[in-house]
């Protein structure tokens, strides 16, 4: 049985994607790209600990990362997004969009 939860909050959600510049990126990373991805992973873990990111994962289309931020403003979302080591290093095509969550299902 699942329970639907209605989201009422003063915070905002944003979704970010990092699409790789090479389809085989994950299997052909250079040593420098591997270091960047480790820094990215540490950054994401830190943001999760701070409660700024509540969803993190990949996608079957090759998207390196899908993140959902929960923040106080669009300015904060952009600051966090553009502080990500993967975005700074330019390892993929980064995208950031506002997201409206109507319901979240808890198991």
**Domains along the chain with CATH numbers:** 3-106 (3.30.70.1060)
The two three-digit tokens of residue 62, written as one number: 């090759």
The strands making up 65-71's β-sheet, listed across from edge to edge, are 53-57, 65-71, 12-20, 92-99
Is the confidence at residue 4, as pLDDT, over 60? no
- What does pTM read for this prediction? 0.83
Residue length of the chain: 107
Nearest Cα to Cα of residue 61 among 23, 12, 98, 88: 23
What's the rounded mean pLDDT across residues 5-16?
74
Is the confidence at residue 6, as pLDDT, over 60? no
Q: What is the pLDDT of residues 40-86, one digit of tens each?
A: 999 999 999 999 998 998 888 888 889 999 999 999 999 999 999 99
């Amino acid at each position: 049985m699942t329970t639907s939860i209605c989201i009422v909050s003063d915070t905002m959600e944003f979704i970010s994607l990092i699409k790789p510049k090479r389809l085989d990126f994950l299997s052909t990373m250079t040593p420098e790209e591997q270091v960047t991805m480790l820094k990215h992973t540490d950054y994401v873990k830190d943001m999760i600990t701070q409660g700024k990111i509540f969803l993190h994962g990949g996608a079957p289309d090759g998207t390196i990362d899908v993140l959902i931020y929960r923040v106080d403003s669009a300015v904060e979302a952009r600051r966090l997004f553009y502080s990500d080591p993967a975005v700074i290093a330019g390892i993929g095509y980064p995208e950031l969009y506002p997201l409206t969550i109507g319901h979240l299902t808890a198991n």
